[in-house]
Amino acid sequence: MDRSTHDVRRASWFNIITECQRRPVNVSVKQWLADNGIKEKAYYYWLRKFRREACGQIQLPASPVPAEVSFAEISVPASIPVKHEAADHTVAVIRVDGITLEVSGDISGPLLRTLLQEVLHA
């Protein structure tokens, strides 16, 4: 296939995909394709091509050099209950200015608040 034929097909499919994306909310992709006489496999083939092309054009920022790991002791007021057992699993990871805080699901609200205040003021 020559370049001009490819360009015409590409432009045509770009319009089809754009129109499909603008379909009414209550109409599924499958229904819209059927209503417009478009083969589902062809639609997804071209959609995949456009997405890959778009991903290829995204320029990600260079990865920063990992900072040296350091630890800081945080004193917790006695009024805040602290569990000394190992957490079963992490449910959230908070990263602020090179500081990483892993939080388990059983952390108390006051302890989390204290930790966040310390991290934000570090």
Query: Tell me: the pLDDT tens digits for 51-72?
Result: 888 888 777 677 676 667 677 7
User: What span, in angstroms and rounded, lies between the C-alpha atoms of 111 and 68?
Assistant: 26
The verdict on 69 and 115 lying in the same domain is yes
The verdict on 92 and 52 lying in the same domain is no
DSSP strand pairing (90-96 vs 99-104):
antiparallel
Strands (E), the chain: 90-96, 99-104
Task: Supply the mean pLDDT for the chain.
Answer: 80
41 pLDDT band (50/70/90 cuts)?
A: very high
**CA-based end-to-end distance of the chain:** 61
What average pLDDT does this structure show over 2-28?
Answer: 90
* Last residue of one domain, picked from the residues 57, 73, 90: 57
User: What span, in angstroms and rounded, lies between the C-alpha atoms of 4 and 7?
Assistant: 5
The verdict on 51 and 82 lying in the same domain is no
Name 118's Cβ contacts closer than 8 Å, sequence gap at least 6.
72, 74
Q: Between 83 and 35, where is the model more confident?
A: 35
The verdict on 36 and 85 lying in the same domain is no
pTM (two decimals): 0.47
The verdict on 48 and 93 lying in the same domain is no
Q: In this structure, which amino acid lies at residue 90?
A: T
User: What's residue 80's pLDDT?
Assistant: 57
The verdict on 13 and 45 lying in the same domain is yes
The verdict on 79 and 122 lying in the same domain is yes
Q: Between 99 and 32, where is the model more confident?
A: 32
Domain range spanning residue 112? 64-122
Q: How many domains does the chain have?
A: 2
The verdict on 38 and 74 lying in the same domain is no
The verdict on 8 and 49 lying in the same domain is yes
User: What's residue 87's pLDDT?
Assistant: 47
Name 112's Cβ contacts closer than 8 Å, sequence gap at least 6.
103
